[in-house]
Chain A
Amino acid sequence: MNYFFAFIKQSFKESTKSRVVFFINIFGKIIFFIINFYLWQAIFNYDGRGVINGLTMEETINYMLFVSIMYGLLSTNIHRIVMKDVKNGYINIKLLRPLDYGLGHLAMALGQNIYSFFLEIIPSLIIAIFFFNFKIYGIFYFLLSFISFFLAIILNFFIDLNFSLINFKFIDTYSAVNFAKSVFKSLFSGEIVPLNFFPQIMQQIFKFLPTTYLFYTPIMIYLGKLSGADIILSFIFQLIFIIFFYAIYKFFWKMLTKSFEGVGV
């Protein structure tokens, strides 16, 4: 397991390249903060009720602020990595290493996330707190939500990794599949709107969708909307989904590398 940490360190070191990107990211976030702020204010004023779908205006705005603060941690570039590896033949070289492809790349993703955490998450959190009234509902909930986000990052990675493997077979049709996956994910993870905005029947289904555990549950924990038992249950679900997607990845990886034709080199 030492190599896992070595990978995290390596990738953290390598990230120190693109500081400009972070400034642009934070600038983009501020614009998003502003839009979000006025948009939801307008919606609530128009609606007239103080509470929509169980969330007050303040809670809804904070929900959306938290989404955009954390957004960077929940987007991977694994599909681009796999595509490049397959197209340019780097897979050949990676197959020569006695380690798990997925775990290696997870470690690298985490390394980059640690870097983003300091250069993107912390600064935008501070900006949100001071200029956009981002409220911490309780330090304990806040910390628990970070644990939930941490598991969400790993879960999100393995979901994306599984879709990336489509590159092995259908390099050409991949972008269409990827687009469909992204739309599904942003709709049903609570990234675009909180999931309680969906009809009542769907709420039951959401419990069993992995996407729910990416944004929706961590943020509901932050808002203090989940009971202790529900929080623990959500962690268990996250772990089960992580194991599930890891197992699928392992299965497909075995199958694909067996029929892999070694393009490139």
Chain B
Amino acid sequence: MPDNIIEVKNVSKSFKKYKRGDSFFDAFKSLFHREFERIHALKNVNFEIKKGEILGYLGPNGAGKSTMIKLMCGILEPDSGTIKALNYTPSKDREKYVKNIGAVFGQKSNLWTDLPAIDTFRLNKEIYKISEHDYKKRLDELVELLDVKEIIKSPVRNLSFGERMKCEFIASLLHNPKILFLDEPTVGVDVVAKQNIRNFIKKINKEFGVTVILTTHDIGDVESLCDRIIILDKGVHVYEGSIPLLKKNYLSYKELIVYFEKETKNIELPNCEVIESEPFKATLRVDILNTSISQAIQNLMEKYKVEDLDIKEESIESIISRIYKSEKK
């Protein structure tokens, strides 16, 4: 398919994990023979990424997200299966391929910490062979978008985490990559900077057409950015689709907040569970797998005198964490 910028087929990846004994004898033994176990970080994973989309790659710690990102960047080679990105095989054609991608690993800096970020940018200009004209234009655009005109001139070590992160973004985008990989880019960033970074990601996606692949634990990132999400657990994809689709398929209850005209106790309705009950107010959890919300409301209205009513959905965060725990539907 021509629209697919990345295609991942039947990819598995495992790591050796060496066992380490504590005793002197174990240490001695390990000189000759090291025992290890295999950790299967990814098991037969398949997916495609379309040109121009923002994909959220989600999952609990140790699910295999970073491993997948490293495979797609060409840092690692899959044990089996194939990855095609921009018509390259990343691990085989790494040196040519990496000119076309950018990456920000939230935990690891791309910048020279003792020098101002602008020095790293200049160096990247040489590494990626960017022309003076393109470099100037691109840098100005990015600096403007992130509002970091002064920040890039002071040594990186003196910057706040959010400011540093903005500079990381610039460093990874100067060479005009077609794909941007972000591994937990908002960890430890304050709320204002976070919002700023989210708007920025949206902009570079819309205006520069950069395809973005993002892993995050921040559900706010997901809701405000991602066209599509993939949820990974223990190396296996457990969900792939849009957020509305996620809600449609995995929403198992809605909550009704009911305000009564008079004091009401011992509420009983089919397929409804009372979570909270006050004299004039109650919160009911409606099992929408067995009934519809309108049916539940109808039942409620028939039995009780209702003054007002609110409907609340389960948060995406809670849906995802339910999927992590594999209590699907």
Residues on A lying within 8 angstroms of B by beta carbon are: 2-3, 5-7, 10, 13-14, 17, 88-90, 92-93, 95-99, 173, 258, 260-262, 264-265
- Contact at A90–B75, with CB atoms within 8 Å? no
Asked if A3 and B115 make an inter-chain contact with CB atoms under 8 angstroms apart, the answer reads no
Check if B103 is an interface residue, CB within 8 A of chain A.
yes
Asked, given contacts A2-B126, A2-B129, A98-B127, whether A89 binds B73 with beta carbons under 8 Å apart, the answer is: no
- Least Cβ distance of A120 to chain B in Å? 19
Contact present for A98 and B99 (CB under 8 Å): yes
Q: A96-B75, A98-B95 are in contact. List 8 more A-B contacts (CB 8 A).
A: A7-B126, A10-B115, A10-B119, A89-B107, A98-B98, A260-B75, A261-B16, A265-B183
* With A260-B76, A262-B67, A262-B76: A97-B127 Cβ-Cβ less than 8 Å: yes
B94 interfacial contact with A, CB 8 Å: yes
- Residue pair B107, A265 in contact (C-beta under 8 Å): yes
Expressed in whole angstroms, the minimum distance between the Cβ of A164 and any Cβ of chain B is 19
A-B contact pairs, 23 of them (CB 8 A): A2-B129, A3-B129, A6-B122, A6-B126, A7-B123, A13-B119, A14-B114, A17-B114, A89-B108, A92-B70, A92-B105, A93-B110, A95-B73, A96-B98, A96-B103, A97-B98, A98-B128, A260-B75, A261-B16, A261-B76, A262-B67, A262-B70, A265-B70
**B interface residues, tally (CB under 8 Å):** 35
Which of chain B's residues have a CB closer than 8 A to the CB of A5? 126
B67 — which chain A residues lie within 8 A by C-beta?
262
B66 within 8 A of A: yes
Q: B residues within 8 A CB of A14? A: 112, 114-115
The CA-CA distance from A181 to B251 in the complex, in Å, is 64
Indicate whether B47 reaches chain A with its CB closer than 8 angstroms.
Answer: no
Does B126 contact A3, Cβ atoms closer than 8 Å?
Answer: yes
A-B contact count (CB 8 A): 76
* A-chain residues with CB within 8 Å of residue B70 when the two chains form the complex: 92, 262, 265
Would you give the 0/1 interface string for B121-142, flagging 1 where the beta carbon is closer than 8 Å to chain A?
0110111110000000000000
In the complex, A262 Cα to B15 Cα: how many Å?
A: 10
Bound-complex Cα distance A16 to B67 (A): 38
Say whether B66 contacts A265, CB under 8 Å. yes
B255 at the interface (CB under 8 A from A): no
Chain B residues 40-78 with CB under 8 Å of chain A are 66-67, 70, 73-77
Residues of B within 8 A of A97 (CB): 98, 127
Bound complex: CA of A138 vs CA of B127, how far in Å? 42
Which A residue sits closest to B30, measured CB to CB? A172
| Pair B127/A13 contact, Cβ less than 8 Å | no
Given A6-B126, A10-B115, A260-B76 in contact, is the A93-B105 Cβ separation under 8 Å?
A: yes
B166-193 CB mask vs A (1 if < 8 Å, else 0) is: 0000000000000000010000000000
In the assembled complex, the Cα of A17 lies from the Cα of B115 at a distance in Å of: 10
Measured between C-beta atoms, what is the minimum distance from B1 to chain A in Å? 26
Q: Which residues of B contact A265 (CB under 8 A)?
A: 66, 70, 105, 107-108, 183
Name B74's closest neighbour in chain A (CB-CB): A95
Judging by beta carbons under 8 Å apart, are B73 and A96 in contact? yes
Q: What's the Cα separation between A261 and B183 when bound, in Å?
A: 17
B108 and A92 form a contact (CB under 8 A): yes
- Which residues of B are found within 8 Å of A262, using beta-carbon distances? 67, 70, 75-76
Q: Which residue of B lies closest to A259 (CB)?
A: B77
Q: Which residues of B contact A6 (CB under 8 A)?
A: 122-123, 125-127
Q: For residue B120, which residue of chain A has the nearest CB?
A: A10
4 smallest CB-CB distances across A and B, nearest first, come from A6-B126, A3-B126, A262-B76, A262-B70
Q: How far is B76's CA from A89's CA once the two chains are assembled, in angstroms?
A: 13
A163 to B127, alpha carbons, bound, how many Å?
26
Residues of A within 8 A of B98 (CB): 95-98
- Closest Cβ of chain A to B270, distance in Å, is 51
Question: Which of these, A10, A93, A99, A258, contacts B108 with CB under 8 Å?
Answer: A93
Report how far A98 CA is from B70 CA in the complex, Å.
Answer: 16
Contact with A along B92-117 (1 / 0, CB 8 A): 00111011010101011110101100
Closest to A99 in B: B127
A3 and B127 alpha carbons, distance in the complex (Å): 5
Select B123's contact among A3, A89, A98, A264, beta carbons within 8 Å.
A3
Report A87 CB to chain B, min CB distance, Å: 12
Collect the chain B residues with CB atoms within 8 Å of residue A17's CB. Answer: 114
Residues of A within 8 A of B107 (CB): 89, 264-265
